[in-house]
Amino acid sequence: MDDDGAGRKPSRRQAIVTAGLAAVAVSLFERRHQPTPVGGPSPEPAPVSFGTDAASAPPYIIGLAGTPGAGYFTDQYNNPRLWVASQTWGLPVNAGQWTSPQGNWKSDYDNFFSARAGQGVTVTMTDPVWGFDGANTGNTWDGVTPLAGGSTNPSSAGLNGTFWTRIDYMFSSAEANGITIGFDIANIGDDAGHSEWFGYSWTTAQWTSWATLIGTRYKNTPNLIWLVGNDMFSPYSDSILDAVQSGLSAAGDSHLIAAWYNAETTSRYDTSTNKQEDWGASYSAFDFGYTYNAGYWVIEYAYGEVANEGAARLLPVIWGDGYFYQGGTSYSSTLDRAMRQETWWTLASGARGFLTEAENVYPWTKTSLAAVSSN
């Protein structure tokens, strides 16, 4: 892309980029995409002022407003909040491995969320049992297992309290910093597709049990949104997603949920073939766009799903996955500027959020905490 935009005629949506967009993006964009949805949009909640006393919790995303239709994310005070996401897969299983003294996993969570909140991040997407693309079983770095007694069968074993106490703290630390966790408990691309991972051979009944156990523990956690998938392919994944949905429902969970398919998709369609992704079309509360093309392209594709693909209604859409920052501590007038422009154009196309993460942060290695402050 051209850094100075020479020869590029911006679209009508791209022309609305203004100063302060990150703070008011949702308000600016809310009425820009208004094909008539099926049924009327839900009433917009009355905003509540964020308290000024020290006891007031910082705002974090908990829901949606203006849906069905191209609505927006809201915080616990009913105010619009932009989805600005980090994708930090390795943090839960590696927290505490490189602290001094070793094992201080609380400090890794606190330092990470505090730093990212200061950079404007509002969502961290992660997986409690990340399989390292097949290089790990799902245990923590110090051998703590997700299921009691080291079991690999969620239909017969409960959750291991030692393991999940760390995840409890992750949610608490994130909440204290105004961050919502995009919680992926069915990471089909990184976990379920690799034989080393402890749930590799699970039946659908075991997936249902897994989701019921976790849904029961976290159904009242406010700063949680379910993400299911990551580099998954339909229809192979649909039976797992059905099982997870059944498990969460059995637990009485009512958090937002969205499907995360492979590259060049939204939660509802394959953008290369226009084929509907059946599970996502049925259950996704918002549209998760995943592309290595221009980010704004998948946003505009998603906003055309009613008119062009016959979707029943519009959904709020985010640029959920794509390129990561490759590292470095000095500003590049070519690469850094290009990434920033890409984000602005994506927001100007009506995105309700975007991804930002670095290659040297997401797996949470020895150097990741230091890299957080420079990336």
pLDDT tens for the chain, 375 residues long, are 333 333 333 333 333 333 334 333 433 333 233 333 333 344 555 554 444 444 589 999 999 999 888 999 999 999 999 999 999 999 999 999 999 999 999 999 999 999 999 999 999 999 999 987 556 789 999 999 999 999 999 999 999 999 999 999 999 999 999 999 999 999 988 888 778 888 989 999 999 999 999 999 999 999 999 999 998 887 778 999 999 999 999 999 999 999 999 999 999 999 999 999 999 999 999 999 999 999 999 999 999 999 999 999 999 999 999 887 766 666 677 777 888 899 999 999 999 999 988 888 999 999 999 999 876
- Global pTM reads 0.86
E strand map for 133-273:
180-183, 224-232, 257-261
In terms of DSSP bridges, do strands 353-355 and 224-232 run parallel, antiparallel, or are they unpaired?
unpaired
130: amino acid identity, one letter: W
- Residue among 48, 44, 73 at smallest CA distance from 61: 73
* The pLDDT of residue 22: 37
* The pLDDT of residue 327: 62
* The pLDDT of residue 47: 54
**Core vs surface per residue 130-143: b (16+ CB within 10 A) or e:** bbbbeebbbbbbee
Domains of the chain: 57-372 (3.20.20.80)
H or E segment and range at residue 67:
none
- Residue among 263, 254, 183 at smallest CA distance from 225: 183
* The pLDDT of residue 133: 58
CA distance 260 to 121: 20
Task: Please say whether the beta carbons of 314 and 33 come within 8 A.
Answer: yes
> CB atoms < 10 A from the CB of 75, how many?
23
